[in-house]
Amino acid sequence: MGALPKQIAQAQTAAPAFAKILDGVKPADITSREALARLPVTRKSELLALQQAGRASDPFGGFSAIRFGPRMLRVFASPGTIYEPEGEARDYWRTARALHAAGFRSGELVHNCFSYHMTPAGAIMESGARALGCTVFAGGTGQTEQQIDAIADLRPAGYAGTPSFLKIILEKAAERNVALPSLTKALVSGEACPPSLRDWIGERGVTATQCYATADLGLIAYETSAREGLVLDESMIVEIVRPGTGDPVPEGEVGEVVVTTLNPDYPLIRFGTGDLSAVLPGRCPTGRTHTRIKGWLGRADQTTKVRGMFVHPGQVAGIVKRFPEAQRARLVVAGEMGEDRMTLKLECSAQPEGLAERVAEAVRELTKLRGDVELVAPGSLPNDGKVIEDARSYR
């Protein structure tokens, strides 16, 4: 929180897009999570739209605080297309801590199978490995046979890449009867790594550790040997908010991951990742003291088309805000295709007479669609971050 006012000021003065988004905000006033929560959330789709709109004068749409030249080492592209700058700071993406937690040490060789083509994934991992004092083999993606040959010849201490590609490498090496005894650890990311896959990899002599990173932000959180959630990186402020809103949820409740980075070169303020997670109470058994999250739990963008109309999580949140008795809501869309039925399930601390009818009127007003309302007791709805559930049959 001590660094936050300076970062707000940096975003306002060096990134023109945030000068508009944060117009009227006094940096000195933003010194707490409560104050931060009053600022608008900029979601990835909005960043893309603003980048595209401002690209004629600035390829980054006013979000980057650095320009082409010695302070900007490289530019990357993410699907959309969103362009991301890489600054000159050592361990710019801050992945050294995640690699260290996965067991990597100075003087080792890392076989990096994250993509080096347009996207920053390969560079994200390489910059951390180099900061840690490791040498990197730029394996990239694909070419499994050559990857196996390189691992057998160079004997790296570990692998970095997606867990699914590591599985392919290990399976193909077994088919060829090629031993890879040096490969004993891995830092995996880019997709889910369920316990079954981690155990499968472990049975073949490789200890896989996960991290959570994005092209916009770099490292967000990393797993430890305790295997109890992911510890948040120390160079950003993470909030978990109700999907479709900027409102923080209670600890333990699933919501969207919103990040404020302390990176002065690309100062994203309340950036909505679109990913779902939840805060894990308590401290990590390894002794790390920072907050933990449960890891990646799905996507927060649950916009659904009902009878030809789009319904957004923000509309559901707007309905909840109208009624002080309401706590959480879940809009369930069911029925065969072409016969959509919409039911709003609403957790209520009290159920005064006529409440369901008044909520139904709000549903119609905000969504322009008729829907049923079902009032349920607090705690009845699943804690999975879903605001809109598409339960239709698509057969």
> Residues 377-395, buried b or exposed e (16+ Cβ, 10 A)?
eeeebeeebbbbbeebeee
Cβ-based burial of 278 (10 A; exposed 0-12, middle 13-18, buried ≥19): buried
Neighbours of 117 (CB within 10 A): 11
If we measure between CA atoms, which residue out of 191, 192, 42 comes closest to residue 115?
Answer: 191
Is the bond preceding residue 81 a cis peptide, omega within 30 degrees? yes
- State the residue for tokens 């804690």: 383
158 near 129, Cβ under 8 Å? no
**CA distances in angstroms from 83 to 71, 209, 258, listed in the order given:** 16, 29, 20
Q: Where are the alpha helices (DSSP H) in the chain?
A: 4-14, 16-21, 33-36, 44-54, 96-101, 121-132, 144-154, 163-175, 195-202, 313-321, 355-367
Neighbours of 172 (CB within 10 A): 14
Cβ-based burial of 126 (10 A; exposed 0-12, middle 13-18, buried ≥19): buried
Cross-strand partners of 326: 348
Q: Classify residue 385 by its DSSP letter.
A: -
d(CA 281, CA 261): 22
d(CA 53, CA 181): 52
Q: What is the pLDDT along the chain (395 residues), one digit of tens a residue?
A: 999 999 999 999 999 999 999 999 999 999 999 999 999 999 988 898 899 999 999 999 999 999 999 999 999 998 778 899 999 999 999 999 999 999 999 999 999 999 998 899 999 999 999 999 999 999 999 999 999 999 999 999 999 999 999 999 999 999 999 999 999 999 999 888 889 999 999 999 999 999 999 999 999 999 999 999 999 999 999 999 988 889 999 999 999 999 999 999 999 999 999 888 999 999 999 999 999 999 888 777 777 877 767 787 878 888 998 999 998 999 999 886 457 789 999 999 888 999 999 999 999 888 888 899 999 999 999 988 888 988 876 54
Neighbours of 66 (CB within 10 A): 19
d(CA 361, CA 376): 18
Cβ-based burial of 46 (10 A; exposed 0-12, middle 13-18, buried ≥19): middle
Structural tokens at position 6: 């300076």
